[in-house]
Structure 1
Amino acid sequence: MKEHSLPEGSVYVNAINMKLARIEPGEFIMGSEKGDMDEQPCHRVTIARPFYMGITQVTNAQYERFDPRHRQLRGKLGFSEADDEAVVFVSWHEAAAYCNWLSERDGRPYRLPTEAEWEYACRAGTTTEYSMGKNFARSHYKHQRHSWYPDPVKTKKEFEVVGLSVGEFEPNAWGLYDMHGNVEEWVQDWYGPYEAGDAADPVGRVDGDFKVARGGSHSTEVQYLRSAERMAALPEDKHWMIGFRVVLAQMPKSEALPLSPQVLYQQNVPQAVPTDIEEGPDQKTAYFTEPKVFVKVEPSEKGPFFKHNHFPYIAQTPNGDLLAAWFTTNEESGREMKLVASRLRHGSEEWDEGSVFWDAPDRNMTGGALWNDGSGKLFHICGMGAAGTWGTLVQAVRTSVDNGATWSKAKLMTLEHGVRTMPIPSLFRMSTGALVLSCDAETGSTGGSNVWISDDDGDSWYDAGGLIAGIHAPVVELKDGSLLAYGRGDEIHGRMPRSLSADKGRTWTYSESEFDPIGLGQRAVLRRLREGPLFFASFADDMELHDRTGAVRRVNGLFAAVSYDDGRTWPYKRLVSTDRDGGIWDGGAWTGEFKMDRSHAEPKGYLAMTQGRNGLIHLLSSRIHYSFNLQWILSLSPGMAEESR
């Protein structure tokens, strides 16, 4: 659109009767030293030219003049039914398209505000946490609390839904309503870290994964409504917490900041496949190496790493590295959650220090999987919340063709936030070519799991519809094409449930397994090994094991098992232990300290597993990396006489 002079006057009413307030140029300090890490460093920003900003968020009535089909989404989950309520269930792309439509309709340049313009207008000359002062007025609250909605287990609709009418409360000093709360607001910028130094009309990063959303929302704790608070989401995402408002002005001509710098796990990543990638210990000889700690982070109250590190997943990259990822957080339903990654580089004996893997700011990111498809591509799938809980997830998928040094733009497997969407590190390709991903079907300790299927190599996905017994259920394909799963909870006759599906997860049959049930802080793993048999790892509760002399011992903790008849029997079981008094270990997360000896192994942990091209099995718990080969399991534990030597 051609350059246009701005209208005159303090308020402009445009062609669709939308009111916009004139915001004069000025300076302010952007960010907060008291806030989250991404609000720092504080820096002086100059807004060099005036602009007009919508005095309210765009309403249903205003948006539907552009897209009448959106009326079908009014009242979805109970939110935003009336003409004067803020429009929600609008992606960043749709918000930007609305601005383009409005530009054509009004003959003037409309767009989303830059992040700097938004904070400048929100503060309206103030330097306090909120434009009304140090505290947010309780009279403005719209369910300002931690919310699990629409999770059917933990919430009820009648206690969660609030009205989203715009302009109900007094405006800030510059005449803008609802700059704190009601709904989050998409802005123009890609999300990225701030840089030190003064800036004039900044426009954010040149590219990124997430678009910034500002202002906080209903059903959100009040500290996330501060003037400096930064949230962000994938630009195609849409849900009941995000809307937008418009500005009238040409886009600043400032140069965007470069891409955020690469972090440790992305640095110095060789792209060649090592000639010795298939070399390793003799597969005919039992091999078990001393366990290693792979979670190496220094927790801090403000991050980027926190005290609770949990839910790992792992893959071997095409260049022979091991790449592991997990979440770090203070609370599992906390908005501070982000993903961390570490590499065990090919030929190295120690894992790298952890570095940030992915961070959708102030969104829950529970659940995930890493998978090497065997043709040079890595898949990363993780949960992406609308808010701070794992009851509002969708699955985000991204891929890498350079051993995890860089990643594609993420795509969402579905736009419907809710349950049946929390990924488990059980992702594989069936013999038919279909991809299978296991997910938790509910947020509680029971309720089952389900599988998502892709018949086009990950371009699109669908929920198969059935229900596996038990949550956190790993899945494997059997030789006849059926699926086998073992879950946590939903016990059958006091044993871990075993689920079978002959129709790609649409229906399942259930029976008791031979394994002990597992509970809080525990997750099993199930995979087919390169050598052909099935591999299973879980946790024993006073389970009987035979050692290699035929003697029976009772064991507790982490064990590995192998089946040569597709899971009908599991004759080979071995405690995953050093088979000696290994002293005291720290399993982190929900595990804490434990002893490792001939009868005791790690008592808890969320397990993940991959097998290297050299045959070594790499088993992760919540903090510890175990490495051994198939022959080590088959050889069983040594007898008492052997151990005493």
Structure 2
Amino acid sequence: MKKLQTFLTVCCSCLICNNLYSQRIETVNIPAGTFYMGSTDATAGTDESPIHPVTLTYSFRMGVTEVTNAQFEEFMPSHKKYRGKNGLSCNDNDAVVYVSYQDAVDFCTWLSKKEGKNYRLPTEAEWEYACRAGSYTPYNTGDALPEEMCKNQVIARDYQPVSLKVAQSAPNAFGLYDMHGNVEEWCYDWYGAYSSEAQTNPVGPDEGEYKITRGGSHHTPVQYLRSATRMAMIPEDKHSLTGFRVVESDFNPISCRIDKEKAFFLPPIPYVIPPSNKKIPFYKHNHQPSLTWCDNGDLLAVWFSANEENSREMAVLSSRLKKGTRQWSEAELFLKIPGRNLTGTSLFNNGKGELLHLNGVEAAGDWQNLMMILRRSHDNGLSWSKPQIIASEHTKRHQVISGTSRSKEGYLIQACDAGPGSHDGSAIHISKDEGKTWTDPWDGKALPDFNKDKQGSTIAGIHAGVVALKDGTLMALGRGNSIVNQEGKKRMPMSLSHDLGKTWTYSPSPFPPIDGGQRLVLMRLNEGAILLVSFTDHPQRTPKKEKGLTFTAADGTTYTGYGMYAAVSYDEGKTWPVKKLLTDGTTRFLNGGAWTGHFIMDATHAEPRGYLAGTQTPDNTIHIVSSNLYYQFNLKWLEKK
């Protein structure tokens, strides 16, 4: 590498000036490695943070310089009409400008066919890794750029003629020229916010409005030439500031896109992102989420934020995952009624172009005596109607649980905690008119008896999930009110109702009970199966000898796993042949938020507890949030051995 760098430094000026040389794309090897991407520089935009570790598991070759006029015009002779426009990029060995993103992509395709190699634009991670060349200072030259590298930083409202000749100053440690300035360079990726999570071979969002450019250009303040500076550009735009360089690599970024027809599980990421706007009420305890899909392809998550769960400062916040991206937006205010506790929230896409938001509202600062309100959105959750009171009395049985669903008849079903205690069970409210009016089937008299084969008016277990079976029966699973099975083990209670919630019968389910800081998800999948997401046990309250469940590994062997798992039933809850621990086996140190805190995920450990909420998008992707983390996978991954 040192010999190559020396040769390039000494001989490049004469080679570049040779027209025969300028027709060829010269590349240099960039080794595989790990670096920290991004910046917290005071002059940076917020999109340069957080700094996060990135590993590139492959080496690649990168163009020593930007593509020149002579090189590009061999592909597109008509481009010569841009030579000298605004007094810039006049000569063969000047960096080409006035190229759109597609122009650059088409050049790479042409060059690949011409040379029998795999050329493309660099990913944003490849570009920054190659630019830094092992450095972590603002520039790969240190804290500042040498004066010779600032020759084109003429700040003028009307551009002045400056040379865009490539390789006129020393290369970086990898042998690359003009990584700071000269012209901006198109990258492969769509523009998107960074995640704090470690990434391997990242390729940016699946979709977007803007493409990434890197490196800064002539007529640009020097601080915008830093290694971490990122810019967005409309793909169809072309101007005198932007050109490109190529990468030669067998790594295909398209192969990293999610193929939703195949099994996939994505690494969990936070969705509770503290707001930079200090006017938004963001407190230390963020908990009890709900989640839904929007008709425009976005996901919308909401949760309450408070210092204490029974306090009056509580606010409901939201975060959005825009279609095609993998980074949630910062928290925004979703609902706040000053001085009132707002425990209990549910979001629901009714499949008719409308989102519903149901919430409890306390008269004071607790979660016992709540009324219920409903709001509607017809613009994917960007704006909401005024609150409609749907259960006016401040009383028990009104603490909304995430997981609104439909009965066989098409009625809306909303589960609510029946009381503030951990064994008070759950109620349901039913609407036969798309949420305009609601009724509680309970007659107000019968008290529940949650023992096996008994009958009551309330679902066994708080925080219940409710799903309608194909014959019209309602099935519910909940936390607490455990029932002992024939083997003498406590099990999560299963409640069944054949009369739309007027009466329920109870039996032990096959699943271990859950406890404080834990809430399950029970939902009907688009494919027809029923999905349960729950926990193997409680990390603090279950004796060690009873901890964990038995799972089957890909090689057919069994192992004991701990934490969050999914179970699938194909016969309306009679059997659950699929049980899978919600981990891909990669070791990660994660923050579950709220009551969960930090934990280690690995091959036998998943998130130990959390309040779960879930939804499934029309493309059959399953989305689960816990108290702080977002999970994305599909049924095929659950079924995969």
TM class, shorter-length? 0.5 to 0.7
Alpha-carbon distance, 1:603 to partner: 0.5
Q: Separation in 2 of the partners of 1:498 and 1:522?
A: 17
TM-score (normalizing by structure 1): 0.54
Task: Output the aligned Cα RMSD.
Answer: 1.8
Aligned equivalent of 2:469: 478
User: Matched residues in 2 for 1:507 and 1:569: separation?
Assistant: 23
Match of 2:215 in 1: none
Structure 1 equivalent of residue 482 of structure 2: 491
- Residue correspondence of structure 1 range 270-281 to structure 2 within 5 A: 281=258
Q: CA deviation at 1:580?
A: 2.2
- Listed as ranges, the matches of 1:132-531 within 5 Å are 281-297=258-274, 304-465=281-442, 466-493=457-484, 494-531=490-527
Shift of the alpha carbon at 1:415? 1.4
**Would you say the 8 A contact 2:403–2:614 is kept in 1?**
no
Could you tell me how far apart the structure 1 residues matched to 2:495 and 2:435 are? 25
Looking at structure 2, the residues matched to 336 and 386 of structure 1 have their Cα atoms a distance apart, in angstroms, of 13
Displacement of 1:548 after TM fit?
2.9
Cα deviation digits, residues 205-241 of structure 1 (max 9, x gap): xxxxxxxxxxxxxxxxxxxxxxxxxxxxxxxxxxxxx
- Asked if the contact 1:299–1:305 (Cα under 8 Å) also holds between the matched residues in 2, the reply is no
Change (3 A) 1:373 1:302: closer
Deviation sequence 1:595-622 (CA, Å, 0-9, x none): 1011101001000001111111000000
Instruction: Tell me whether 1:622 sits opposite 2:635 in the alignment.
Output: no
Shift of 1:368: 1.1
Change (3 A) 1:545 1:365: same
Does the Cα contact within 8 Å between 2:342 and 2:362 map onto a contact in 1? Answer: yes
Decide whether the 8 Å contact of 2:301 with 2:319 is kept in 1.
Answer: yes
Compute the displacement of 1:303 (Å): 6.3
Using the TM superposition, give the Cα deviation of residue 550 of structure 1 relative to its aligned residue in structure 2, in angstroms: 2.4
Residue pair 1:322, 1:345 contacting (<8 A) in 2 also: yes
Q: Which runs of 5+ in 2 are unaligned?
A: 1-207, 210-256, 443-456, 485-489, 538-547
> Structure 1: how far apart are the matches of 2:462 and 2:498?
20
Superposed CA offset, 1:101-153 (max 9, x none): xxxxxxxxxxxxxxxxxxxxxxxxxxxxxxxxxxxxxxxxxxxxxxxxxxxxx
**C-alpha separation in 2, matches of 1:506 and 1:304:** 40
CA shift digits 1:251-292 (9 cap, x unpaired): xxxxxxxxxxxxxxxxxx99xxxxxxxxx9445521011111
Shift in Å, 1:549: 2.6
Task: Evaluate the alpha carbon distance shift between residue 299 and residue 537 of structure 1 in structure 2; reply closer, same or farther with a 3 A threshold.
Answer: farther
What is the DSSP-based 3-state SS (H/G/I as helix, E as strand, rest coil) of the residue aligned with 1:632? Answer: helix
Give the count of matched residue pairs. Answer: 358
Secondary structure at 2:463's aligned position in 1? coil
Could you say which structure has the larger radius of gyration? Answer: 2
Letter in 1 for 2:622: I
Residue 509 of structure 1 aligns to a residue whose secondary structure is strand
Select 1:609's aligned residue among 607, 614, 633: 614
Amino acid of the residue matched to residue 321 of structure 1?
A: D
Q: Which residue of 1 aligns with 2:4?
A: none
Q: For structure 1, list consecutive stretches of 5 or more residues without a partner in the other structure.
A: 1-268, 271-279, 637-645
Counterpart CA distance in 1 for 2:567 and 2:518 is 16
* Cα deviation code 1:491-531 (max 9, x no counterpart): 00111000000000000000001111000000000000001
Q: How does 1:536-615 map to 2 (within 5 A)?
A: 536-541=532-537, 542-582=548-588, 584-615=589-620
Q: Compare 284-293 and 383-392 and name the one that shifted more.
A: 284-293
TM-score of the superposed pair, with normalisation by structure 2: 0.55
Residue type of the alignment partner of 2:344: G
Partners in 2 of 1:600 and 1:483 — Cα distance?
32
1:473 partner amino acid: A
Moved more, 544-553 or 595-604: 544-553
Alignment check: 8 A CA contact 1:451 1:505 kept: yes
Change (3 A) 1:481 1:616: same
| Residue identity matched to 2:617 | G
Judge conservation of contact 2:622–2:634 (CA < 8 Å) in 1: yes
Contact 1:608 1:619 in 2 (8 A): yes
Q: Return the letter of the residue paired with 1:318.
A: D
Decide whether the 8 Å contact of 1:475 with 1:486 is kept in 2: yes
Q: Percent of aligned pairs with the same residue?
A: 47
Once residues 260 and 329 of structure 2 are traced to their aligned partners in structure 1, the CA distance between those partners, rounded to angstroms, is: 27
Look up the equivalent residue of 1:570 and give its one-letter code: W
Distance in 2 (alpha carbons) for counterparts of 1:303 and 1:634: 42
